[in-house]
């Protein structure tokens, strides 16, 4: 059941991050879910700095918030990487 919850939270975080970020992100449902999962890891790492126990992989009420923040950071990095590969004329 934890894998299903992880996928659902990843999907929600990816959808929220894409909705909050300006611009057009052309990605499908699978890429959005992977974005949210990567954001969950990044957000969990960031959130571990604010907790006294420092455990990264626990489920906390603020987990979705940090997952969205992490997904937004990942999306920002991906958009910067995508810009440098485009040919400018």
23: left (phi over 0), alpha (psi -120 to 50) or beta: left
> For all residues of the chain together, what is the average pLDDT?
78
Per-residue confidence at 78, pLDDT binned at 50, 70, 90?
A: confident
Token pair 């954001």: residue = 39
* Average pLDDT of the residues in 27-33: 87
Where are the domains positioned within the chain? Answer: 3-84
What pTM does this model have? 0.75
Q: Is the pLDDT score of 2 beyond 70?
A: yes
Instruction: Give me 34's structure tokens.
Output: 């992977």
Q: Is the pLDDT score of 83 beyond 80?
A: no
Q: What is the DSSP letter of 56?
A: S
Give 24: exposed, middle or buried? Use CB within 10 Å, 0-12, 13-18, 19+: exposed
Q: Is the pLDDT score of 88 beyond 80?
A: no
**CA 17/CA 40 separation, integer angstroms:** 11
Q: Is the pLDDT score of 40 beyond 60?
A: yes
């Amino acid at each position: 059941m934890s894998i299903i919850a992880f996928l659902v939270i990843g999907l929600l975080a990816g959808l929220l991050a894409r909705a909050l970020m300006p611009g057009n992100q052309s990605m499908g449902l699978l890429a959005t879910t992977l974005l949210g999962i990567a954001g969950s890891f990044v957000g969990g790492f960031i959130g571990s700095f604010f907790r006294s126990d420092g455990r990264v992989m626990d489920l906390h009420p603020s987990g979705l918030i940090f997952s969205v923040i992490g997904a937004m950071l990942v999306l920002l990095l991906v958009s910067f990487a995508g810009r440098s590969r485009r040919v400018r004329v």
